Amino acid sequence: MEELIAKRYIKALKSNSDIASMENITTIFSSLAESFKDDKFVSIVANSNISAKDKLDILLEAVKPAKSEKINNLIQLLVENKRINIIPAMAKELKKDVANSTKTYTGVISSDSDINETVLKELSSGLSKRFDSTISLTFVKNDFNGIKVEVEGLGIEINFSKDRIDSQIIEHIIKAI
């Protein structure tokens, strides 16, 4: 539900903005969204005993370095409509929207074995060519028995599980016999 509301606000923002200003707005809202990971901050903005003016002052002070009347008006609108809680959803949707507009995406490669930088660059390059975009990948070591590549903005998920490959080889050998 929050994503749908966030998309409506973003649509209004996009109507009078270019890519550079949308990237700037995305950076600001991503920073604000990080604040929502702090329990003290959430307790302040969610507290009904704190006036809307105080909440507005806190949020406007946070975005003051941007010196943007558009952002200030948006924050004021969110506070007036009691929609401060959608700021993280707005940040996420703004990131997606800017990524789609610029065709620049980030992804994650997960595996239980180490992957060197050369392989990361080759995979990034290959995926970039395949999807006519700029894709940068980062490696995360975890307990996945194989390799998994995820690029969320494009909806790509590729995985090669060692267990699945082993079972398919055994099935193939059994069929051959």
What residues form DSSP beta bridges with 109?
139, 149
The parent domain of residue 22 ranges over 2-99
Specify whether 128 is located in the same domain as 63. Answer: no
Confidence of residue 87 (pLDDT cuts 50, 70, 90): very high
Q: Torsions phi, psi of 156, nearest 5? A: -95, 130
Whether 163 shows a pLDDT value over 80: the answer reads no
Residue range 101-156, pLDDT digits in tens:
888 898 998 888 888 888 889 989 988 998 899 999 989 888 888 888 898 888 88
Q: Within this chain, do residues 85 and 17 fall inside the same structural domain, yes or no?
A: yes
CATH number at residue 132: 3.40.30
d(CA 54, CA 59) in angstroms, rounded, equals: 9
150 with 90, same domain: the answer is no
Note the pLDDT of residue 34.
92
pLDDT beyond 80 at 164: no
Enter the tokens of residue 104: 């620049």
pLDDT, position 69: 86
pLDDT tens figures, 19-58: 888 888 899 999 999 988 988 888 888 888 888 899 899 8
- 48 and 125: one domain? no
Q: What is the pLDDT of residue 11?
A: 86
Dihedral class, residue 67 (left if φ above 0, else alpha if ψ from -120 to 50, else beta): left
Verify that 34 and 69 share a domain, yes or no: yes
Q: How many domains does the chain have?
A: 2
CATH code for position 17: 1.10.520
Percent above pLDDT 90 for the chain: 9
3-state secondary structure the chain: CHHHHHHHHHHHHHCCCCHHHHHHHHHHHHHHHHHCCCHHHHHHHHCCCCCHHHHHHHHHHHHHHHCCHHHHHHHHHHHHCCCHHHHHHHHHHHHHHHHHHHCEEEEEEEECCCCCHHHHHHHHHHHHHHHCCEEEEEEEECCCCEEEEEEHHHCEEEEEEHHHHHHHHHHHHHHHC
pTM: 0.74
Q: Which of 42, 53, 38, 52 lies closest to 85 in space, CA to CA?
A: 42
What's the pLDDT score for residue 76? Answer: 92
Q: Both 87 and 116 in a single domain?
A: no
CA-to-CA separations, 28 to 49, 95, 162, in angstroms, rounded = 27, 11, 42
Q: What is the mean pLDDT of residues 82-104?
A: 89
